[in-house]
Structure 1
Amino acid sequence: MDNGVLTHIDIYPDQAQYKTGQSGSIIIEVETREKAVLQLVVGFYKLEQQVAEGRLSISTEPGLRQKVSVPLFTEATEWAGYGVKAAVLCNEAVVSTAYTSYDIADHWGRAPRYGFLSDFRSEESGDTRDVDSMNKFHLNVIQFYDWMYRHDDLVPKEDEFIDPMGRTMSYKVVREKVAAVHDKGMAAMAYGAVYASLKDFLQARPEWGLYNRQGDPFQLIDLFYIMDITPDSPWTDHIVEQFRQAVQAGFDGIHMDQYGFPKKAVRRIGGKEEQVDLAECYPALINRTHAAVKEIKAEAGVIFNNVGNYPINKTASADQEALYIEVWPPVVRLRELKGLIDHARSLDPHKPVILSAYLPSFYPEAGHDKEWAENGALLTMASIFASGGYHLLLGEDHGMLTMPYYPDYAVMRPEFAIEVRRYYDFIVRFGVLIHDAQLEDVSYTYTAGVNTEITFVGNVPFAPNGDINSVWTIIKRKPGYQILQLINLAGLEDDYWEHGKKQRPEAQNGVVCTLLIEQPIECIYTASPDDQAQKVIVLDYEVVPHGQGVAARFTLPSLRIWSMVVVKFSLQE
């Protein structure tokens, strides 16, 4: 930015996601030090190719922030992502550039960039800064965490109420936030625990609960009591009706939570005791909830929480929009995040995978250095995204989750928020190369060891194991493409995803890649969310002999944290 002309520039779409056939706009904010006439050249890109361009002129007044709208490039598609570059010219010279992305999808379940809201105090009334913030990160489905009156009686009867955690809440604000979320093209998901009641509810209905072998009710912090979710339980009828009422009240679906325990329990029904295996009960409950909410709203959906990955082998085939996993130890290393995603995709490749991976290094009371936490966060996001997953992390007004009780979120520094926005811009623009259901992972058969289809020459090893002091190679392919996701782990003190990092990885420069040509190549290009210019760089390559034929040899630009290399094959042999 030339500070002699501009004092502010920002760019973002007017919605988090657009439906197929819907129109929309790119919003560009500019502010100048003095009166000026500016030209804006706005380019639209689909993957590496420019597909449209718009031009306009604006006159500015000093100190007055102006917003201008540029119509989106749209096309008929089930799902596609687009990049946007706005160049600002003054007297024919470029004084600044700004970048954003957007996507078009027939349903939010195509690309569920999950966010959260948890502040519903009356003081929030009329304040939509949180939703505006989430829109700039393209969060298109929002979990309303602890919005309800009680866990066993969801929809509040009055505008002001006290929730089970003692917070004074406003149902009027909840409704306002739902409307604001809808206005930005986001879906609103109502949090609902599948088997949590308060103590008095169970005491009045002891046959509805679950008990341990000693006869004591299962409970959490003596506040939430675990209820019987077997298909014929009265509680199951009750909670599904509560979920149905939440969608009737305006939500777009249910975030079905559980606590990961008990896994087996005892129910008391008709004076008899029966053992319950909860893993066997969840699929029927998910399916029943899905059917109930779709009766109210055709586009409604559900997301079920597999706590610690339990019991995803049972739930993956149930009717839900995504496979959601709340990550807990012993999954502690970056490569283990990929393991969760790979396993979930193997169960149902057509359901997107969302990891709820909290970052305690940002917890306000922990007293950690912010940059330490930020260095670790980017590596965690890169690992999840490059592996083909989504990350429930962001929400509120630049908030980041630090623990499973969402109100204890942290707030990003403005400088860090800019970096995180680039990461989300990146996964929106290149979503079909990162998250497509057709992608096949060939990491362990194409790189390192005896595999010579793709080799690298650099200062550190390149391998698919995700070890520190290496570059982690995640190789995927789909018809027409081979995609190399490279995550730099050089110089790190550890590979724990929850931890911050003292420094960022040591940049890798001058890395030479040799890639076996298995099909005719149209082009090879690279892009990285670490690049402030968000450029797609077409790579020159030479054809060289290879033991299995011929190969393309090229040199990579600097690898900082995460870079993607795309090999696009010719349509004709």
Structure 2
Amino acid sequence: MDFLDASEKKGFSLIEKFLLITNSILFFSSMFGGEFVDILFDKSYYYPNETINIRILNMLEENKQIKVEITQGVQKVSEFAIDNYLDSKEINFSFKSPSTTGGYGLDLFIDNKLVLSRGFSVLSSWLDSPRYGFLTDFSKGRFDIEKNFDYLVQYHINSLQYYDWMYDYGDLVYEEGEEYKDAWNREKTISNVVLKELIEKGHEKNIFSMAYVSIYGVERNLGLQRPEWLLYQKKGVNYEPVDFYKKILITNTYNDSDWTKFLIEECKKTLEFGFDGIHLDQYGYPKDYTSLFLKNGEYKPYLTSKGFKEFINLLKKETQSPVFFNYVNNWPNEIQSHTNGDVIYIEPWESCNTYLDLYLMIKQAKKDSRKDVILAAYINENFEENVLLSDAVISASGGRRLELGEFRLLLAGPYFPGDAGVASQKLLDGLRNYYDYQIRYEQFLDLPEKELSLEGSNLSLIPKKNSIWYNIKGNSEYVFINFINFIGISTELWRTKTKKPEIVENLEIFLPIKNVQNVYFASPDTQIAFSKIDYEVEDEGIKIFVSKVEYWSSILIEL
């Protein structure tokens, strides 16, 4: 959380927001024979050889030939015929997941016609490919948990940040009863019973729960009782505690700090309560050497980044559980390669304003840490063009984005309970396609970038206005090229409302590669499954015609 956030901002409560929307589970579907058809998964991901249960909805005509194909990349792994179904409105079908981990495609054929394509993951652990979401409502009156998790499963969200769930800053788990008020405003009612139900229901869906904890925030009165815990700033001749909104005091997180020992024990209680891991937050300040800590009666300069690193590594060692840490405004990024957190989670602010900044930030963080990078990049839920462009850039850069969680809400700001707005059905449909696409082709999106240059109109090696940014990845078997469309947009600032890109058709490109076996096209905007396309062989390479780029399209070259 950035220290300049509008934490006091008020908005609709979650209940009020839910009254604005339908209570039904979101279905994104494909038109076939005048009826809408959809496929729903039962879990966010699957372990090798785990049973996958899918529901095929709205097959209103009987006696159709139904087939499901499983693919990895462009290779068919298996296929299943579905015969003798009893209810054409909902067909339940089960099969074993592949024994090899990775991203897979699921394609539905009706009378040998491809009707709908989806993606799913096979993982040994959710940490092998974390897809992060959020929860903010832990009251007995919250939206239906089962429906909320069925909704998240369709986007393959396998982990959730429980924002402001705790009883107090420092004193995390409430042990005096069942219900209590939230630590920040003491307004929202939180139920330990609901927290446990959310955690348990999540496990049934292969969704794991991360408890939000401020790494260095203590409730003011408790902090004043323990002056050796605190950080200080000199004002005149006095030393005053560093605070956050006059509510929370900032503490020393060095290994030998008594605060560190106290909070790690509180984190252990949190894990014993049932949470799967700890999500550590900070407020973006104080920077290195701008505060002081108290030791043996003496005030000494404090190195905040050192304190963060030592706390993260000690917490990981003491708990052996998942640990995330928020690099607010990508600070302090110099410790990313020296901490044992499980991902690099970044909340970008003024250091990251353009689409190019997003790409460079992810690229550098992955290079430094060799870990998955998750961005809490806040965008107004009504800026649908920005959301899709940003998600495309983040995905093509090898990153992920925190944006989904509570039913149909899109995260638009740093104070999660008040800064999540109701997303349109159109945007949620598009995002489901994008998430399917990311999952299905994860092995290509995570390939290293290749030093190749393309020839063609309006192409660019970096994201910028009035160009198509191309991003090339590959290995000895494949070359994977992403095309992201910035032609016609009104701004390169990803937070600022932009015009929709102008659709580009029949994009002609030349690629200096000779040993080509096949070329395939896919797009989360138009067709998720790869289809083989023609190419022309020339003296120094091949010429390809990309049929359409709306926001994001891809070419896969099989060598």
Shift of 1:25: 2.2
Q: Is the 8 A contact 2:336 2:368 kept in 1?
A: no
Aligned-residue CA RMSD in angstroms? 2.0
Q: State how far apart, in whole Å, the 2-side matches of 1:127 and 1:109 are.
A: 23
Q: After superposition, where does 1:102-141 map in structure 2 within 5 Å?
A: 102-124=120-142, 127-141=145-159
- 1:434 equivalent to 2:452? Answer no
Tell me if structure 1 keeps the 8 A contact 2:97–2:122: no
Aligned match of 2:469: 472
Inter-CA distance 543–126: structure 2 relative to 1 (3 Å threshold): closer
For 1:428, the aligned partner's letter is: I
Q: Please, which of 301, 315, 327 is the counterpart of residue 322 of structure 2?
A: 301
Q: 1:498 pairs with 495, 508, 511, which one?
A: 495
Read off the aligned partner of 1:42 and give its amino acid letter.
V
Alpha-carbon distance, 1:476 to partner: 1.9
What residue in structure 1 maps to residue 268 of structure 2?
A: 244
Equivalent AA in structure 2 for residue 381 of structure 1: D
Find the aligned partners of 1:102 and 1:424 in 2 and give their Cα distance.
9
- Are 2:48 and 1:54 aligned? no
The 1-side partners of 2:206 and 2:473 are apart by 31
Deviations 1:332-372 (A, max 9, x none): 101100110111012122x111111011x22xxxxxxx3xx
Q: Which of 1 and 2 has higher RCO (CA within 8 Å, sep 6+)?
A: 2
Deviation at 1:67, TM superposition (A): 4.5
Q: Percent identity?
A: 28
Question: Which residues in structure 2 correspond to 1:402-481 (within 5 Å)?
Answer: 402-408=412-418, 409-435=420-446, 439-442=447-450, 445-447=451-453, 454-456=454-456, 458=457, 461-481=458-478
CA distance in 2, matches of 1:125, 1:529: 30
Gaps in structure 1 of 5+ consecutive residues: 295-299, 363-369, 448-453
| Aligned 8 A contact 1:316 1:323 in 2 | no
Deviations 1:371-424 (A, max 9, x none): xx1111100100100111011111111221111111121122122211110000
The within-5 A match list for 1:370-389 is 370=382, 373-389=383-399
Q: Residue 555 of structure 1 aligns with which residue?
A: 545
CA drift at 1:200: 1.1
| Alignment partners' CA distance in 2, 1:39 and 1:536 | 22
In the aligned structure 1, how far is the partner of 2:33 from the partner of 2:546? Answer: 35
Alpha-carbon distance change, 3 to 511 in structure 1, aligned in 2, over 3 angstroms = closer
Deviations 1:82-138 (A, max 9, x none): 11112345xxx86x8223211111222221111111111111386322211111100
Asked if residue 352 in structure 1 is aligned to residue 372 in structure 2, the reply is: yes
Give the structure-1-normalised TM-score: 0.87
Matched, 1:9 2:9: no
Which of 518, 524, 540 is matched with 2:519 structurally?
524
Runs of 4+ more than 6 Å apart: none
Q: Answer yes or no: is the 8 Å Cα contact 1:12–1:100 preserved in 2.
A: no
Whether 1:399 aligns to 2:395 is no
In the alignment, is the contact (CA less than 8 A) between 1:12 and 1:101 conserved in 2?
no
Q: Residues 53 and 92 of structure 2 are in contact (CA less than 8 Å); yes or no, is this contact kept in structure 1?
A: no
Cα deviations across residues 9-52 of structure 1 (Å, max 9, x unaligned)?
321321111123433222322263xx744442111111112221
1:70 has 2:94 as partner? yes
Query: Which stretch of structure 1 is more off in the superposition, 155-164 or 133-142?
Result: 155-164
Contact 2:449 2:473 survives alignment (8 Å): yes
1:542 paired to 2:532: no
- Alignment-mate amino acid for residue 41 of structure 2: P
Mapped partners of 1:101, 1:2: distance in 2: 18
Given residue 386 of structure 1, which amino acid in structure 2 is its aligned partner? A
Gaps of 5+ in 2: 1-29
Answer yes or no: is the 8 Å Cα contact 1:80–1:104 preserved in 2. yes
1:125, 1:173 within 8 Å by CA — same for their partners in 2? Answer: no
Aligned partner of residue 441 in structure 1, secondary structure = coil
Q: Which amino acid aligns with 2:171?
A: D
**CA offset at residue 331 of structure 1?**
1.1
CA contact (8 A) 1:541 1:553 kept: yes
Deviations 1:264-316 (A, max 9, x none): 3211222111111111122221111112221xxxxx31111111010121133
Matched with 1:509 is 505
The superposition leaves residues 206-254 of structure 1 with CA deviations (integer Å, 9 ceiling, x where unpaired) of 2211111222211111112111111111100011111122112211111
Distance 1:154 1:39, change over 3 A: farther
**TM-score with structure 2 setting the length:** 0.89
